[in-house]
Structure 1
């Protein structure tokens, strides 16, 4: 469509799409989800094979995928946070209901359903898309070129002829720059589900237009999802047997920790039911020193309580952003785990991730050749930017008056769409 640019913030947790014309602000694509209209489209997929048509595949995405999973969790394969595998060389494909899916197949299936649910706004798309990408992809040894080639395949299947990629915090910076009234050097921190990314940009005004120059960037593959796992690891897993023991041939041995690593991603819990680990866990019920805890673990896995568990985790994390103490409550079936959590306790759990984030902030400053005094404004975006311990990283380095936040979910997509108006896009967005 002539004169229209589209920005797509494909996130680990949510995906947001924005459209911008030649003038005025960008507007977000809205999705008429089952419970209420949303603009943050959950980055999730579900695959369901109807019992009467086992060779058919019903595919859904976003809130509709969650709804399908909640209605029939035992017969639905649910996948979320799959962006985390984009740069992983070890992830080649996954089997879903008898079919093989590579990463680009998952991405294109997700994008096609996203477009379908976007209705009239996404019925006719421009030929060019500006897509956000993290500064550092998630994973132990991320392959950036592999990730971008997978993105390219997936987004081209949506019908785009040209796809440009811009760093996610740079997209947020373009959104933020609309409010600048004078020249400024800005540090943008974007906290997603899987990555925390930082960019430093110099904005100047020339002939009534805003000019921008990138100065430095850095990122780290930890963010909100890692915080969630720390809550589960400290509050829930001990109630399900982590840290306890079992007896074998007269010896007392520790319950293997690997049974609990799956809780890092709740949608993978259902896969354990058919695994060798699950057979071992069932056997442990008779051998455990505290069998009632292993019985709870079996129930969580058998009944697929993963989604309910992570709802509880999200609730307490959000509450701790506003209060010094909050009540954690996970109730499902016969399981009822309740405990008060102090903010300081939560902050001690996530201290390894906080140190990595701090290191990335300092790396961005070093690349820009600036100290904290050289930054005029700090703009924080993304859900985890609301965590007080994350904000404290910036309060320790910068004057509080310099720090701003807001539009936590919309800023990147809107900024990417606005970026499409730039005369010279090559400074900000590039092809593969």
Structure 2
């Protein structure tokens, strides 16, 4: 049972979602889920849709799952499962209006509401009684080209209202992480928090001052860029996988040799787009190209990846490579699914060369936050790195080049934001740290 005055913080992430609760006394507590793979604090931001026979044995019944249960449904029956991941990346896209799943139209808010309802279901008694107030994390800059933040928050609002929340507030994700980190402070400090998610990299600089009345805090600056782990994934796919699926190849039409359209491979830049491409009119064009391609076997592989829903297997292969290269100077990329097997050696130096444009954009956002704070790098006392992409050595190097290593700390890479958001919900001046849509 949640205490009557509890607040709830929700970090709806591109890759993972975390929920934390706090009562009138004490720290925030992260909600845990008893999943097929074990006890988890992070809930994968995935959805699955399947049609099962209804009670009468004839009328189809739509079954929606989320998180580890969605992954389990996909693994058990990939051909009959519509599997969607990283769907947060089109929250701020005006170009995305809806997708059709099993002859039913889903807007973004429909997908998010379906996801949140399954999160609540799988949390069991921990979320039996929701408080009226929720603090929802939002990136400083949403992912995607020309992101519309107002549209994203409008969609969030519609989804969270369906769960019954009446006081919905939004706080920047790195600010939530800053509140989590500040619990350990014993003296005044200027803190830079860098939050690296799947879709965005966000930075916030906050002044914290312990006092007899508690921790006083003043926001100094924030910045962000719609580039993070998913962008790194795309670089790997673009270098190692797409060429084996026909990218850069040619086909013949009316006696002319023409390049295979690049737009089919741009979908790999965002995991959510793979599920959408599978159900799009482009599939008909891809099948036609395979019949006239100079290397048809490569287009056949692309068709198999999409038809047989190998996107999650590809995601796992890319994630393994990133983890291996965060630990070792060289690793082997292996993507094996169905009849497809792509294998290649990769060095950390190669990977860092591929992601160089993304690293430059992240560095620029860090410098923007520092400049906006009015502080020099020397005047920043503590640096807190959080989020999965913070494990990438080249990302950490951005901070080691700017700050004394003794100032840099990590921890709570997956739980800090939700906990901090819940703590923000206890602040007296909520308008200083959060906003309503």
Please indicate the TM-score interval, normalised by the length of the shorter structure. Answer: over 0.9
Is 1:296 aligned to residue 301 of structure 2?
Answer: yes
Q: Hey, what's the Cα distance between the residues in 1 that align with 2:276 and 2:187?
A: 54
The Cα of 1:34 is off from its aligned counterpart by 1.2
Is 1:430 aligned to residue 435 of structure 2?
Answer: yes
2:215 aligned partner: 210
Q: Deviations for 1:365-411, whole angstroms, at most 9, x for unmatched residues? A: 12111221121111010000111111111111111111111110000
1:368 aligned partner: 373
> For structure 1, which segment, 195-204 or 301-310, has the greater mean C-alpha deviation from structure 2 after superposition?
301-310
2:110 aligned partner: 105
Going from structure 1 to structure 2, the CA distance change for 1:294 and 1:147 (only over 3 Å counts) comes to: closer
1:12 aligned partner: 14
Alignment of 1:243-282 (within 5 A): 243-273=248-278, 275-282=280-287
Going from structure 1 to structure 2, the CA distance change for 1:128 and 1:181 (only over 3 Å counts) comes to: same
2:29 aligned partner: 27
The SS at the match of 2:144 is coil
Alignment of 1:195-344 (within 5 A): 195-207=200-212, 209-273=214-278, 275-344=280-349
The Cα of 1:55 is off from its aligned counterpart by 4.6
1:382 aligned partner: 387
Q: Hey, what's the Cα distance between the residues in 1 that align with 2:160 and 2:197?
A: 21
| TM-score (norm: length of structure 2) | 0.94
Q: Hey, what's the Cα distance between the residues in 1 that align with 2:359 and 2:152?
A: 26
The SS at the match of 1:355 is helix
Note the residue ranges of structure 1 that are not aligned, 5 or more in a row: none
The one of 177, 181, 185 aligned to 1:176: 181
Alignment of 1:112-131 (within 5 A): 112-131=117-136
1:349 aligned partner: 354
Q: Hey, what's the Cα distance between the residues in 2 that align with 1:32 and 1:181?
A: 36
The Cα of 1:208 is off from its aligned counterpart by 5.5
Q: Hey, what's the Cα distance between the residues in 1 that align with 2:43 and 2:95?
A: 27
The SS at the match of 2:297 is helix
The SS at the match of 2:68 is helix
The SS at the match of 1:56 is strand
The Cα of 1:273 is off from its aligned counterpart by 4.6
- Asked whether the 8 Å contact 1:267–1:306 carries over to 2, the reply is no
Is 1:42 aligned to residue 52 of structure 2?
Answer: no
| TM-score (norm: length of structure 1) | 0.96
> For structure 1, which segment, 200-209 or 342-351, has the greater mean C-alpha deviation from structure 2 after superposition?
200-209
The Cα of 1:267 is off from its aligned counterpart by 4.8
Q: Hey, what's the Cα distance between the residues in 2 that align with 1:278 and 1:205?
A: 59
The SS at the match of 1:2 is coil
The Cα of 1:96 is off from its aligned counterpart by 1.7
The Cα of 1:156 is off from its aligned counterpart by 1.5
The one of 72, 83, 87 aligned to 1:82: 87
The one of 3, 6, 11 aligned to 2:5: 3
The Cα of 1:270 is off from its aligned counterpart by 4.6
